[in-house]
Amino acid sequence: MSAPTEVAYCGLFCGACVIRRGRIAALSKELLERMGTPEFQKLAAGLPTLNAALFEALREWQACFRVLGAMRHLDCERTCRDGGGTTACRIRECCRRKNMQGCWECDQFEDCETLSWLDPVHGDAHRQNIRMICRQGMRAFLDGEKRW
């Protein structure tokens, strides 16, 4: 059974979050370590000359290195309700300022500009969750289908 602290202020279910699981960050860190070695860098430079059809993309390994550098930060040990998550979350600050447990206690969530901050990543998953919490209550929501 899921705990209420797994539901973020915005209505997202942290238990389903790929960042929360930390696997992407761990794999990224491992790849960064291996790609940072002189041995790998020598391979990346040499293999395209041996077989361009198969290894030409290795000439761009530095771009992959930069992406992995960003991905190593995709790790969240605690939910926002437990003090984790991004410190830049305007939604958490709004809920705290209004003394609300979450956006489901606000009658303006459907058209909220602050809540729209998540739209590029989550679409309307957070609003769907909020609607379910409003209709069913938190316990029923936690026992049912949740979106991230």
Q: Phi, psi at residue 13, to the nearest 5°? A: -95, 105
- Return the exposure string of 53-67: e unless at least 16 CB atoms fall within 10 Å of the residue's CB, then b: eeeeebeebeeebee
77 lies in a domain?
no
Distance, in Å, from the CA atom of 80 to the CA atom of 120, rounded to the nearest integer, reads: 19
Distance, in Å, from the CA atom of 68 to the CA atom of 24, rounded to the nearest integer, reads: 9
Distance, in Å, from the CA atom of 138 to the CA atom of 144, rounded to the nearest integer, reads: 10
76 lies in a domain?
no
Q: Are 10 and 126 in contact (CB under 8 A)?
A: yes
How many structural domains compose the chain? 2
The predicted-structure confidence for 133-142, as pLDDT tens digits, reads as follows 999 999 999 9
Range of the domain at 139: 4-14+82-143
Amino acid at 132: M
Question: Mean of the per-residue pLDDT values for the chain?
Answer: 92
64 lies in a domain?
yes
Do 58 and 94 lie in a common domain? no
Do 44 and 92 lie in a common domain? no
89 lies in a domain?
yes
Residue 136: how many other CB atoms lie within 10 Å: 13
Higher pLDDT, 9 or 5: 9
| Token code pair at residue 21 | 């699981």
Do 86 and 114 lie in a common domain? yes
Helix-strand-coil percent breakdown of the chain, rounded to 5?
65, 0, 30
CB-side neighbour CA atoms (13 Å) of 125 = 17
Confidence of residue 1 (pLDDT cuts 50, 70, 90): low
114 lies in a domain?
yes
Q: Kindly tell me if the per-residue pLDDT of 54 is higher than 80.
A: yes
Do 129 and 86 lie in a common domain? yes
Do 65 and 109 lie in a common domain? no
Task: Give the closest residue to 79 by CA, choosing from 104, 102, 113, 111.
Answer: 102
87 lies in a domain?
yes
The predicted-structure confidence for 75-112, as pLDDT tens digits, reads as follows 887 888 888 888 888 999 999 999 999 999 999 999 99
* Residue 7: strand, helix, or coil: strand
Do 67 and 111 lie in a common domain? no
